Amino acid sequence: MPESYHKFHRHPAKPVRTLEDAANDEQIIVVRCGLCRRQINYLATDMVQVLNPARPVDAPHFACSRCGTADYMSVKVKTPSAGDFGHLTIRRLLRIRSVSEWGNRLLGDAPDPGKTPKGL
């Protein structure tokens, strides 16, 4: 929904910074829920792997996992300082799980057209 991004475009002279910009600058995305006051730090370089890199960096990226709403989410971007290394807890992207796709096929037919099942 690109339209909803416009409210985060605060000044016409100031171009929208995207998630990709923040990743290129190796910045930290600080996501805070104002309702439960949960705050989580992410690396922009992790987030671009799972979210659209063209998203405005300060638009809420997802709902709070505790409250289930994005209404109170605020996003800040910070550049790590030397003192952050070894001290600041970051929620890292550990693994991207692939999604299984299932579909009905006739017994003996290949799952993908053009591919022959092994062993036949």
**Which spans of this chain sit near Zn ion (rule: CB under 5 A)?**
33, 35-36, 64, 66-67
- Kindly state the smallest distance separating residue 65's Cβ from Zn ion, in Å: 8
- Comparing CB distances to Zn ion, the nearer of 20 and 60 is 60
Minimum CB separation of residue 77 from Zn ion in Å reads: 20
What's phi and psi for 112, nearest 5 deg?
-110, 135
Instruction: Pick between residue 48 and residue 64 the one whose CB is nearest to Zn ion.
Output: 64
The Cα 104–Cα 42 span in angstroms is 40
CB of 55 to Zn ion, least distance (A): 20
Choice between 16 and 67, CB closer to Zn ion:
67
Q: Which of residues 17 and 38 has its CB atom nearest to Zn ion in the complex? A: 38
